[in-house]
Amino acid sequence: MEVSVIVVVVVVTALIFDFTNGFHDTANAMATSIATGALRPKVAVAIAGLLNLAGAFVSVEVAKTISGGLVTEALITPVVIFAGLVGAILWNLLTWLLGLPSSSSHALFGGLIGATLVGAGPSAVNGTAVLSKVLLPAVVSPVLAGLVAVSATFLAYRITAKADGPTVRRGFRIGQVASASMVALAHGTNDAQKTMGVITLTLITAGALAPGSAPPFWVVLTAGLAIALGTYVGGWRIIRTLGRRVSDIQTAQGFTAETTSATVILASSHLGLPISTTQVCTGAIFGAGAGRRLATVHWSVAGRMAVAWAVTLPAAAVVGAAASWTAASGPFGVVVVAVGGLALAAGIYAASRRNPVNAVNVNNVVALPAPRTASRTDQESA
């Protein structure tokens, strides 16, 4: 297979991953706003899609980290990157089917690392960068977001305790439109860059760009469009999980969770840290749930999410490694990986149609149990 052909295949595959990243992570920005009624579902995903596109043009620091930091570009080929992307896409689709808000970012890193280990050897993986820019932020960022959200939620309820309840709820609902929009912008800023970084890395390995190059404009544009389109499609299964199954979220909690998430994600993007927006937003939502007195928080859901987070990187790495080993046999191997990946993706999609979740029924779940001793004032005042 000619290098030019495999480069095109990798670029297209990267944009497919970007699309799955969009619908997989729509919940990060809009789950709480949809759950509280601050935004109608279709309006929410449309706003998120547009702001994801805008966010793609804010910064390229994360893209530079991926294209020139995690793996040694001189030691890998476009085929290795293709194999890593296949692993990431399949893990995204599987966790979407299960409604688990796992990390698209860690699926990408895992797939890329696994494929690189098999295709180029351990020396091609920058262990220091993986530890400092992937693993440590994965542990710190959701905890930090959760702690900030707990404090912000507690303060929000204390400050507005004696104010008129309906007026306060209306004010926070309006605030949620702004805070959710900021999360969507931040998501585009951080996550679209990951695909930019992968495409740039591919172009560097193929000799089309010099090492250390920033993403060309067309890369920024196509990555932004792909994640925006995926976001507009709407990852309704994960939106349901974060909006309805974590806690009985009220407008004040939605506002503090979204504001916390946007702040942490934008700060990380500025520092070039490719953090998981899913983990940040999930941590903030749990923190906001815990920050309201007598709120119901479903910690068993948190446990399932934590397991998914823990296995995401190694699971994607295993798939990426297997794809890399198969694709290394030549053009036929690449075709086998592509066809196999398409078949598995089609199977996952077919399984999802047995119990569809969409904009119409995303909030149609069994009501969360009310706190045993909560008064109406405690539950409804902001």
Task: Write the pLDDT tens digit of every residue in 137-174.
Answer: 888 889 999 999 999 999 999 999 888 888 888 899 99
380 occurs within a structural domain: no
Let me know how long the chain is: 382
Nearest Cα residue to 34 out of 176, 229, 210: 176
Residue 249: name the closest of 291, 213, 216, 214 by CA.
291
Structural domain harbouring 212 = 3-361
The answer to whether the CB of 119 falls within 8 A of the CB of 46 is no
Task: Name residue, tokens 């119901």.
Answer: 296
- In a domain, residue 366? The reply is no
- d(CA 176, CA 179) in angstroms, rounded, equals 5
Q: pLDDT tens digits for 239-275? A: 888 877 777 778 899 899 999 998 998 888 777 777 8
d(CA 42, CA 321): 38
CA pair distance 112, 195, nearest whole angstrom:
12
Asked if residue 25 is part of any domain, the answer here is: yes
Contact 87, 214 (CB under 8 A): no
The tens digit of pLDDT for each residue in 162-219 reads 888 888 888 999 999 999 899 889 888 888 888 898 999 899 888 888 887 888 999 9
Mean pLDDT of 31-36: 85
The pTM is what?
0.83
pLDDT at 225 over 90: yes
In this model, does residue 338 exceed pLDDT 90?
yes
Enumerate helices (H) and strands (E) in the chain, giving the number of each: 15, 0
> What's the average model confidence in pLDDT over 334-361?
91
Q: Map tokens 């702001």 to a residue.
A: 51
What per-residue string of b and e applies to 247-274 under the rule 16 or more CB within 10 Å gives b? Answer: bbbbbbbbbbbbbbbbbbbbebbeebbb
375 within a domain of the structure (yes/no):
no
Instruction: Examine residue 224 and state whether it is found in any structural domain, yes or no.
Output: yes
Contact (CB, 8 A) for 222 and 55: no
Contacts with 364 (C-beta within 8 Å, 6 or more apart), sequence order: none
Question: Which whole-number Å values give the CA distances from 186 to 248, 249, 270, in the listed order?
Answer: 25, 22, 10
Structural domain includes residue 372? no
Residue 377 belongs to a domain? no
What secondary structure, in 3-state letters, does 50-111 show?
Answer: HHHHHHCCCCCHHHHHHHHCCECHHHCCHHHHHHHHHHHHHHHHHHHHCCCCCCHHHHHHHH
Nearest 10 degrees: Cα torsion 287, 288, 291, 296 = -100
Residue 295 placed within a domain: yes
Token readout for 344 is: 């598995």
Q: What is the pLDDT of residue 365?
A: 57
Share of the chain above pLDDT 90, in %: 36
Number of domains making up the chain: 1
